[in-house]
Amino acid sequence: MNPKVEKALNEQIHAEFFSFYLYLSVSAYFTAIHLEGFAHWMRIQAQEESGHAMKLFDFLNERGGTVKLLPIDAPTREWASPSAAVETVLNHERAISERINKLVDLATSENDHATTVMLHWYVSEQVEEEATADTLFHQVKMVESNPHGLLMIDRELAARPAPVAATQGE
């Protein structure tokens, strides 16, 4: 496998596992402030992120690349408000989208078509991730001064189903 692409894919596995860590940390924050629906939603999203990492892990193995797992930094643990926590998630997803776009650029310039095609799934996934985080951020911002509104969103978020094994990461 092309060593530049292999290195970049390993770095993306790392970034997805950091996302897993970040969402878990946000989930713990929401549990601590008794917004269990938010906590549940973030925990499910963490599961999805480990799915994103594993999809790349499997791809590297399939292509004869070497998986090199990197150390994961501790994520932020505390936020000033629910909207601040969701804003962290939104900014993080924007940064992940930029990483994915750069990965596509690299795979394309290295003529690694298999990687380019595989990455298209991530390009679409990031459209969804950014849109979801953006909506949630704006809705939380809207109701933040009104506990009633916050509890309504909390109840909605509590209904998010767990990803099914076969479609994990989607």
Binding site for Fe ion (CB under 5 A): 16, 19, 49, 52
User: Rounded CA gap, 2 and 154, in Å?
Assistant: 46
The owner of tokens 């936020």 is: 79
Work out how close the CB of 131 gets to Fe ion at its nearest, in angstroms, rounded to a whole number.
Answer: 10
Residue 99 Cβ vs Fe ion, minimum distance, rounded to whole Å? 10
Assigned token pair, 97: 């989208």
Query: At a CB cut-off of 8 Å and minimum separation 6, what does 55 contact?
Result: 121, 169
Q: Which residue is nearest to Fe ion (CB)?
A: 52
Rank residues 16 and 154 by Cβ distance to Fe ion and give the closer one: 16
Q: Are 123 and 101 in contact (CB under 8 A)?
A: yes
- Closest CB to Fe ion among residues 14, 52: 52
Closest to Fe ion by CB, 17 vs 150, is: 17
- Closer residue to Fe ion, CB minimum distance, 10 or 19: 19
Beta carbon of residue 149, minimum distance to Fe ion (angstroms, whole number): 25
Q: Which of 79, 80, 82 is nearest to 143 (CA)?
A: 82
- Cα separation, 131 vs 127, whole angstroms: 6
Nearer to Fe ion, 6 or 49 (CB): 49
Minimum CB distance to Fe ion, residue 139 (Å):
18
Distance from CA of residue 14 to its chain's centroid? 12
Residue 169 CB, shortest distance to Fe ion, in Å, is 8
